[in-house]
Structure 1
Amino acid sequence: MSRQVFTLPDLGEGLTEAELVRWLVRVGDTIAVDAPVAEVETAKAIVEVPSPYAGVIAELHGAEGGTLDVGSPLITVDHLDSPAAAGYVAEERAGSGNVLIGYGTSEQPVTGRRRGRRVASGVTPTVAAGAATAPNPLATAPIAPVAAPTPPTRPVADAPAAPDRPGAERPRVASPLVRQLARREGVDLAALIGSGPTGLITRGDVQRAAVNPPATDPATATEPADTDTEPADTDTTTATATDRAEAPGTDRRTGLAVGERIPLRGVRKVIAQALSRSRAEIPEATTWVDVDATELIALRASLAVGEQRAPSLLAFLARFVVAGLRAYPELNARIDTEREEIVRLDGVNLGIATQTDRGLLVPAVLDADRLSVRALDTGIRRVTDAARAGTASSAELTRGSFTLNNYGVFGVDGSAAIINYPEVAILGLGRIIARPWVVGGEVVPRQIGQLSLVFDHRACDGGASGGFLRHVADAVEHPLAALVEG
């Protein structure tokens, strides 16, 4: 029996860290090869991590709720040598294994140099596999955009010495992610002493330096550090207010006690980045219309025969949407800013904005334009359930071409949603309730709801967006005719 340390596997698709949701084993437990030992949450999904070793758990590295970098220790096992375990390790050393379920490794060949950097830094360089997606709530929530693509990473040569320190040695940094973090946090790598092997600077070193900067060398200091505080005031009242604002557990800006701090990481971090990017890059416009859904509700009720459940109203709306996108392809597109092109798509992957415990996600029903109302109903239920359970696939979370948002489940009438980047439009449905409506010159009670369309004005104009919205609204008001014709 020998002791082995199992590190957090390569997550694939540019993912370099994961949140440890919960341990599935305890110290002293006996495990078999491929037994799940921990549940982790990445920016894409919640997955179980299997052990490549059989034996007894000697140590658990990390606390539940904490974040682990790829390549950092996960468990230590007093393991029993086995062919299965040996095969797993050999496969990882070859650069193809040790990947979390649901993800793939980079297709690039792993050279000896890259393997050396991996061992030294504890972070596996990977290449992002396509655009990430993001999130948006639908089957139950207001919209949130998809995740922006993760930029590809590659080994970067050690940075030269800082220009203002002619005699300084070059900082030992293997991971480009560490360099990026240092730039973002304003940390001078040349001033750090790495805690990694042979003095390698790690992400933890940069994070610690960002919180507790090293003391400034008097010989190099030329001006006082900038601060966002006013000079000390001798007035007692001002001093008391300042002390209160700086007290532990107190919000500096308002002086109020801090009730809770929620880290932006994993899916929530991706959602925040996608929302910001959508608002920053897309010149959006909103149009809306009230619709009479009385006939649609009656048609749906008539389809509940025996034990056969009637499709959801959302499934009918999805069918009308894909028909509308065939007529107005301007809305089933994306903007390629690098090539300065509008890319119109052939086929529809219909995203369904879904509220989950992990935030607002937008799993997509792939090839929705090929499905019937009942098939759409099945597909919507499947992908939204998977999103809430954290088991939706990467393809389902990143490949949507148009998003449908059912914010009516929250009891609201309308919403100007945020476009699910990099798509160019999102359609929302508010609550459907009985309201007075004029039919044949008489005021009668009807089931009325509101449809709202938010669109990217770069991809289409008011004519196309208004035509699409009217197309869907007419189908809602005359569903039988729409289904027969489309």
Structure 2
Amino acid sequence: MSHEFLLPDLGEGLTEAEIVAWLVAPGDTIAIDQAVVEVESAKSIVELPSPYGGVVASLFGEPGQVIHAGQVLLTVTDAGSEVAPAATDVPVAAATAAAPTTAVPTEGSGAVLVGYGTTESTRPERKVAAGRFGGAGAGAPVQQADAPVRPASVPVNHPAEPAASGSRISLDPARRSPVVSPIVRRLARDNGFDASTLVGSGLNDLVLRSDVEGHIRALTSSAPVAAPPTAPPTALPTALPTATTATPPASTAPAARQPADVSADIRIPMTGLRKVVSQRLMTSRREIPEATIWLDVDATALFAARDQLLRTTGEQFGVTALIARFVVAGLRLYPVLNSSVDTASQEILQHGAVNLGIAAQTSRGLMVPVIHGAHTMSTRQLRDALAALVAQSPDGTFAPSVLTGGTFTLNNFGSLGVDGSAAIINHPEVAILGIGRMIERPWVVDHELAVRTVVELSMVFDHRVCDGGTAAGFLTYVARCIENPVTLLADL
């Protein structure tokens, strides 16, 4: 008997996803709730568990393809059936689309995605894989489950195998070693091979990160040293801070992934997160009549307060966390800036809770994780919540719930080395505050020239919600708190 596994409803109105990598191949025997495919939605990268157990008969779609809810992902036959593995290059459009409710799982499935599965989950929570910046077209055949995703114009050239024989890290295309960590699979894909073809050093040949890194070093040492003089070095996008590099340097620029002609154009599909970001930015520009104000602020006293906190409490408080605390206090004084606009009813919806969004540059692109209930937090709690978001930002592995519900956004673009920016409001919010870099500048203090640490604050607001007086009042309040942190005591 054959079962069709359909792409389920991923929740929150998401109706499509991009295939990142297949975790199984035709002919593999799988169990109920075993992860079979890694897909990227607009919110995050997730592994989908199969509601059926048996033998994988065929796969539909290749890495880089976009599929829609209700379309067939793979077919599974009963373990005793004699079924030859089907071709895996069947276009998604050719798959039979059906309502998600027709995919009824076999008894015992613990899958809890919308549209199939039982209410009792027997599958432990899995950490999602690290995200990617932008999308990519179809690349290597699906039989290689973890083959790297490449733009359509990039030729598929596999790096030469290491000359060493008998090594535990030698590749065997027929081998299917267990690989649990999505990060390990991702690291291998970025370097042009499938992690499951290695012999792992873990229990039952489990492939560990050290195994993949060891093979990468072997690839690097066996690669030719000399390079054509005309080939330019591969550079990371200038918008990404170096802290977002989550893999060893060898994985950032494998030669096999570069086009043969450096002058050739490359088409990068706008899918997944990049597509959602584009739509939201266009909506913001189209609907919001925004205005921008800015102010240079003497932040010398803020750094002194940070140092004093360290001396008295023994704890580190970053300046961004302190400014976030000032922003929350300012929104309690100017609550209309903590709003959204209901265009259908022509009303301003003023939110009671302050859910502070923090703009973050990640390996998947610009994301805005949210600190929910920031108005209820102490400075220490706000600092810890911010630190937790910063720890996740390099990979962009935020839970979908963390990326929704924001009411105001704080953007520290000074970390990118710029002084100011006319930021785009994160729709449907009505304002965003930007922090530029903090540098020493000449400053007049008590009619005398002095060297002070100065930062530029830029405020973009929706002119439908308030006039310049309200926005300026909020901006100057935050500026006063930066110049003299004791000011905050008056509003506590």
TM-score range, shorter-chain basis? 0.5 to 0.7
Which shifted more, 302-311 or 407-416?
302-311
The one-letter amino acid of 2:74's match is I
Contact 2:8 2:116 in 1 (8 A): no
The CA distance in 2 between the partners of 1:377 and 1:30, in whole Å, is 47
Q: Displacement, 1:472?
A: 0.2
State which drifts further: 402-411 or 7-16.
7-16
Change over 3 Å in CA distance of 1:285–1:363 after alignment to 2: same
Once residues 329 and 94 of structure 1 are traced to their aligned partners in structure 2, the CA distance between those partners, rounded to angstroms, is 37
The alignment partner of 1:269 has SS state of: helix
CA contact (8 A) 1:9 1:98 kept: no
Change (3 A) 1:409 1:92: closer
Contact 2:421–2:458 (Cα < 8 Å) also in 1: yes
Q: Is the 8 A contact 1:20 1:65 kept in 2?
A: yes
The 3 A distance-change label for structure 1 pair 337 and 468 is same
Indicate conservation of the 8 Å contact 1:32/1:53, yes or no. yes
Sort the Cα spacing of 1:19 and 1:334 in 2 relative to 1 into closer, same or farther, 3 A: same
1:5 Cα shift? Answer: 2.7
Whole-Å Cα distance in 2 between the matches of residues 357 and 471 of structure 1?
34
Measured after TM superposition, the shift of residue 436 of structure 1 is 0.9
Change (3 A) 1:88 1:66: farther
Kindly report which structure 2 residues correspond to 1:64-463, keeping only aligned pairs within 5 A, or say none: 64-80=63-79, 86-87=106-107, 97=117, 259-304=265-310, 309-386=315-392, 388-463=394-469
1:431 Cα deviation after fit: 0.1
Q: Deviation at 1:282?
A: 0.8
Instruction: Give me the identity figure in percent.
Output: 51
Taking structure 1 as reference, are residues 378 and 423 closer, same or farther at Cα in structure 2, changes over 3 Å only? same
TM-score by length of 1: 0.62
The answer on whether the counterparts of 1:47 and 1:390 sit within 8 Å (CA) in structure 2 is no
The amino acid that maps onto 2:373 is D
Check the 8 A contact 1:46/1:390 in 2, yes or no. Answer: no
SS at match of 2:269: coil
Matched-pair contact (CA < 8 Å) for 2:8–2:114:
no
| Conserved 8 A contact 2:10-2:113 | no
Secondary structure of the residue aligned to 2:24 is coil
- Is 1:17 the counterpart of 2:16? The answer is yes
Deviation by residue 1:292-330 (Cα, 9 ceiling, x = unmatched): 111111222333469965122111111000100111112
Corresponding letter in the other structure for 1:375: Q
Q: 1:467 to 1:289 in 2, by over 3 A?
A: same
Q: Distance in 2 between matches of 1:425 and 1:341?
A: 16
Counterparts of 1:335 and 1:306, CA distance in 2: 44
Match in the other structure for 1:472: 478
Matched residues in 2 for 1:309 and 1:74: separation?
50
What SS class does the counterpart of residue 107 from structure 2 fall into? Answer: helix
Q: Which amino acid aligns with 1:12?
A: G
Q: Can you list the C-alpha shifts for 1:63-94, whole angstroms capped at 9, x where unaligned?
A: 1111112122222334449xx95226799999
Shift in Å at residue 442 of structure 1? Answer: 1.7
Matches of 2:113 and 2:375, distance apart in 1:
43
How far the C-alpha of 1:381 sits from its partner, in A, is 2.8
The residue type equivalent to 2:400 in the other structure is S
1:20-59 mapped onto 2 (5 Å cutoff): 20-59=19-58
User: 2:9, 2:39 → 1: CA distance?
Assistant: 13
- Whole-angstrom distance in 1 between the partners of 2:19 and 2:116: 23
| Aligned mates of 1:9, 1:479 — CA distance in 2 | 51
Cα offsets for 1:244-297 (capped at 9, x unmatched): xxxxxxxxxxxx975211111111111111111111111111111111111111
Q: Give the counterpart letter for 2:441 in structure 1.
A: R
Partner residue, 1:194: none
- Contact 2:51–2:111 under 8 Å retained in 1: no
Distance 1:326 1:335 in 2: 18
User: Partner letter of residue 14 of structure 2?
Assistant: L
Query: d(CA) in 2 for partners of 1:93 and 1:475?
Result: 46
Give how far 1:95 is off.
5.0
Q: Give 1:387 deviation, angstroms.
A: 5.5
Instruction: Tell me the residue number matched to 2:6.
Output: 7
Distance in 1, Cα, partners of 2:472 & 2:452? 24
Contact 1:6 1:51 in 2 (8 A): yes
Structure 2 CA distance, aligned partners of 1:387 and 1:454? 24
* Secondary structure in 2 matching 1:261: coil
Report how many aligned residue pairs link the two structures.
328
| Structure with larger RCO (C-alpha < 8 A, sep 6+) | 1
Letter in 2 for 1:86: T
Task: Name 1:126's counterpart in structure 2.
Answer: none
Q: Quick one: distance in 1 between partners of 2:352 and 2:113?
A: 41
How many Å separate the matches in 2 of 1:77 and 1:55?
A: 6
Distance 1:384 1:459 in 2: 31
Distance 1:395 1:89 in 2: 25
**Is contact 1:54–1:85 with CA below 8 Å preserved after alignment?**
no
- Give the drift of 1:335: 1.1
User: Residue 382 of structure 2: SS of its match in structure 1?
Assistant: helix
- Conservation of the 8 A alpha-carbon contact between 1:291 and 1:451: yes
Offset at residue 484 of structure 1 (A) = 6.6
Cα distance in 2 for partners of 1:20, 1:443 equals: 60
Q: Deviations over 1:4-44 (max 9, x none)?
A: 33221222222211001122233343332212111111111
Name structure 1 gaps, 5 residues minimum: 102-255
Instruction: Tell me the distance in 2 between the aligned counterparts of 1:365 and 1:60.
Output: 40
Call closer, same or farther: CA 1:94–1:358 in 2, change over 3 Å.
closer
Contact 1:352–1:384 (CA under 8 A) maintained in structure 2: no
Which residue of 2 is the match for residue 482 of structure 1?
A: 488
Larger Rg, first or second structure (1 or 2)? 1
1:53/1:80 contact within 8 Å kept: no
- Distance change (3 Å), C-alpha of 1:47 and 1:93: closer
